[in-house]
Amino acid sequence: MSENKRRTAVVSGATGFIGGHLAHTLVNAGWNLHIIVQPKSDLKPLAELLPEIHVHIHDGSTAQLMGIIGDSSPDVVFHLASLFLAQHSPSNIEQLVRSNVTFATQLTEAMIQAGCHCLINTGTSWQHYENGEYNPVNLYSASKQAFEAMLIYYLATSPLKAVTLKLFDTYGPNDPRPKLFTLLRPVAAEGKPLAMSAGKQLIDLVYIDDVVQAYLIAAERLLAGQVSGNEHYAVSSGRPLPLRDLVDIYGRLIGAELPIEWGAREYRQREVMIPWQKGKRLPGWQPEVELTEGIARMILQETKECRINQ
């Protein structure tokens, strides 16, 4: 790909697990990459990319963000930055709204002013508790919906086109988030019991490589002019399993019986027992990594890296 034909992307949330994988994939595919980070963001996960990408530290203002988007002139903006809180406290409200509504709206305004009209937004299946058209599990998912309400204005008054990818549970090697397998690693290593719910809730897991592929396909759809308005797609495996079964699979693959104390804690308020089932699949995308294969791949990669670091 010649320099004058290189596509340019702006990614928010590139220091996160999914955003980091997307950033690596875009650079490897020859994209010119700009990332927007907060002043205190940890750039260590992107260390090997830093010589090749453009890092913009956002000061929180709309004016500076307009400068960033204007100077980078992206073909596509991938918006993944968010503050995730399964349960909030009153002290979290301002930060939650600032991260998930204000910043996202500033970013969209900056895109419009710069003449960039291709946005990939990140939503959550938790906007659809009990399969509702809109029924938020928590304030986090409500804030995701709030930004989509903002998008309606920009879609009506500008050439903006958007694809919102609604994610379910995601996993992969060295995930630092407090997700299921992150919690199970020390249980397996130390044999320390872990208190969990009764474990009957269904979990819909999608491997990180498949998640990133959904973003790339969405970008191609936007750039090809195939998007109308804000299109919504579910990035789902379509094969959710009970939490107990997932723990059993992980334990079998590492060759250990995990000391889980099932039923030792209550289900959280508005626990998602059955994931959203009414979302449409992104045209041209389907998960390629089967669950057991993905977990095995994750364990193998983490084991190799652990041995190297010893």
Q: Quick one: pLDDT band at residue 247, thresholds 50, 70, 90?
A: very high
pLDDT at 13 over 80: yes
pLDDT at 4 over 60: no
Residue 260: strand pairing partners: 194
Q: List the helix and strand counts (H, then E) for the chain.
A: 9, 13
Tens-place pLDDT, residues 273-297: 999 999 999 999 999 999 999 999 9
Tens-place pLDDT, residues 132-181: 999 999 999 999 999 999 999 999 999 999 999 999 999 999 999 999 99
Please tell me the pTM assigned to this model: 0.96
Q: In what order do the strands lie in the sheet with 118-124?
A: 54-57, 32-37, 8-12, 76-79, 118-124, 161-167, 230-235
CA angle 75, 223, 22 (to 5 degrees): 65
Residue 2 confidence (pLDDT): 41
C-alpha distance from residue 176 to each of 16, 100, 147, 172, 210 (Å): 9, 21, 26, 10, 18
- Structural domains of the chain, with CATH: 3-172+204-235 (3.40.50.720), 180-203+239-274+288-309 (3.90.25)
* SS3 state at 41: coil
Residue 148's φ and ψ, nearest 5 degrees, are -60, -35
What DSSP element (H or E) covers 65?
A: helix 62-72
Q: Which one-letter DSSP state was computed for residue 113? A: H
Residue 304 confidence (pLDDT): 81
pLDDT at 1 over 80: no
- State percent of the chain over pLDDT 90: 95
pLDDT at 243 over 70: yes
pLDDT at 305 over 90: no
pLDDT at 3 over 60: no
In the predicted model, what is the mean pLDDT of residues 98-107?
A: 98
Mean of the per-residue pLDDT values of the chain? 96
CA dihedral 276, 278, 284, 290 (to 10 degrees): 40
Residue 309 confidence (pLDDT): 64
